[in-house]
Chains A and B, each alone.
Chain A
Amino acid sequence: MLAYVDDCMEPAQRSGFESLMAAEPDIRRQIEEWRRQNEAIRAAFGSSREWPTPIRAQTSANENPPAEWMPQPIKSVRASPRLVVSASPAQALVGAETLIPLRQASITRKASPLLSVLAAGAALLASVSSANVTSQPKEMVGASLSAYRTYASGRSNPVEFATSNAGALKNWLAPQLSRASPIPDFSDYGLTLRGGRIVPGGRSPAAFLLYETSAHSRVGLLIEPLDAPAPAASQVSSDHGLATAYWTDSGYGFALTGPLDEEQLIDMSRPVAGD
């Protein structure tokens, strides 16, 4: 219904929904109410209102800057096939279905098959069109590299709280972050937890966990609480011998940095819910 009211449906979906709406007075009534709401909001804030532009610094020459002024992306990014599957429209559909209690139950029961199809379409659209908008991955990867170079690869004290006990580390981190951070277990990859510290994240304080192999090679994991990010497949970038994998899951952003090859990092960058 939201997609219909906000004009986010394909024509075919729209006509299908309209035929359903014709048979369901409850849905029709709700749609009409939301449409009136939209019109009232647009009338209150809409384009007819002139907002002041204090200084006109632009000229006709710089309103459309030449393409060569725009820097080109430097780092290569590769997606993990396994995680692409986990972020598929089907999973997003499950997320959208959790919204159903917000609607009236009677409407939901009757309209659920169509809503499911519409939600899947919207999720697919989101997965296609959400690229190139956010700078969050870049900021978190930069923060993780900085934290690794400062604490994991130098002679400074690598952790504030040294422990191999995930529960103890979680309790130590919890009051210092907006949400308790999960502590992933990488023992399957031969990594032992050495402790953690608080570091600056991309936009807010973040947890930086340090793991070590039996050969004392270190791997750092930056975990930053985010607003409500969509689950994102792993992206790997390399910088002067350090590779970093970035992914999001369960409301957190993760950036795993270490002297590992990309295949291994992709394999380690997995959903961590419940860890």
Chain B
Amino acid sequence: MKPGERWSEHERALRRFGAALVRDDRLVRDDRAAAALAEPLIRQALLACCNDDGAAGDRRAQLFGHFIQRFRRHIRRTADREDDGEWAIAPLAGRPADLRAAIHRLQLEYREAMLLVVVEGFSHARAAAALEVSLPALLERLAAARRILGSRDVSQTTEPLRWRGAPHLRLIK
């Protein structure tokens, strides 16, 4: 950790990021529910970051990375418990009321990239490292998210919450 760098600053930023990330307007439909879901994951991420082997490096990116991995695991487990997986692709009625709602409806991999870069001010390289994806993959997701947000085309955001590494989150017809 750099001199003067304080855990409380990272924690505050992670709390804001976490509550914004976990809200999806499908399973988690309000800010209070989002904060309640994010809180234990934030604490696990803080603990994991404190116990990390690598004392050197970008501690903020490490902390956010721990949180993102835990949230993805939570999503996988939630999908495991579902019988049909339909919740992940349930279409949302109408167009999103505003930009905030549109971001909540983005699929997870786009939402996490946009929030990290735009709201938390991560550089592309730091965001790619925190998400454990390559830089081209991150840029592709940012470009796709911006295109969707620019058009507010909800139909593009009702794809399932899935990513390449998640075996269970598949489109089920």
Contact = CB atoms under 8 A, between A and B. Distances in A.
The answer to whether A binds B is yes
Interface of A: 2-3, 6-8, 33-34, 37-38, 40-42, 44-47, 49, 51-54, 58, 63-65, 67, 70-74, 92, 95-96, 98-99, 102-103, 122-123, 125-126, 128-136, 138, 177-179, 203-205, 225-231, 251
Given A2-B124, A41-B119, A99-B140, A227 B135 contact: no
A205 B15 CA distance: 30
Nearest to B39: A54
Nearest to B131: A227
* A-B pairs with lowest CB-CB distance, top 7: A132-B57, A70-B55, A178-B167, A228-B137, A230-B134, A95-B136, A133-B129
A95 B54 contact: no
A229 B57 contact: no
Interface stretch (B1-9, B86-94, B153-161): B1-9
Contacts of B22: none
18 contacts: A7-B123, A52-B15, A65-B50, A71-B53, A74-B53, A96-B136, A99-B140, A126-B135, A128-B125, A130-B128, A132-B54, A133-B126, A134-B65, A134-B129, A135-B65, A204-B76, A204-B167, A227-B109
B53 A41 contact: no
Interface of B: 1, 5-8, 11-12, 15-16, 19-20, 35, 39, 50-58, 61-62, 65-66, 69, 73, 76, 98-100, 103, 109, 114-115, 117-119, 121, 123-126, 128-137, 139-140, 142-144, 146-147, 149-150, 163-167
A205 B167 contact: yes
Nearest to A177: B167
Nearest to B54: A132
Contacts of B58: 129, 132-133
Contacts of A95: 134-136
B7 A64 contact: yes
Q: Which of A49, A67, A130 lies at the interface centre, i.e. has the most chain B CB atoms within 10 A of its CB?
A: A130
Provide the main secondary structure of the chain B interface.
Answer: helix
A41 B117 CA distance: 11
B8 A6 contact: no
Given A42-B118, A70-B52, 18 more contacts: A34-B146, A37-B146, A41-B103, A41-B114, A45-B16, A45-B100, A45-B119, A51-B12, A53-B15, A92-B136, A133-B58, A135-B52, A135-B65, A227-B165, A228-B137, A230-B128, A230-B133, A230-B135
Given A41-B103, A64-B7, A134-B132, A129 B126 contact: yes
A129 B103 contact: no
Contacts of B12: 51, 53
A37 B150 contact: yes
A98 B136 contact: yes
A44 B98 contact: yes
Contacts of B109: 227
B133 A228 contact: yes
B145 to A, nearest CB: 10
A207 B99 CA distance: 42
Nearest to B141: A228
B8 A58 contact: yes
Contacts of B61: 133
Contacts of A3: 124
Contact of B125 (A63, A125, A227, A231): A125
Contact of A51 (B5, B16, B51, B54): B16
A67 B144 CA distance: 41
Contacts of B35: 51-52
Interface centre among A38, A54, A92, A126 (most CB of B within 10 A): A126
Most A C-beta atoms less than 10 A away, residue of B69, B99, B165: B165
Contact of A231 (B8, B66, B134): B134
A51 B165 contact: no
B134 A178 contact: no
A95 B129 CA distance: 16
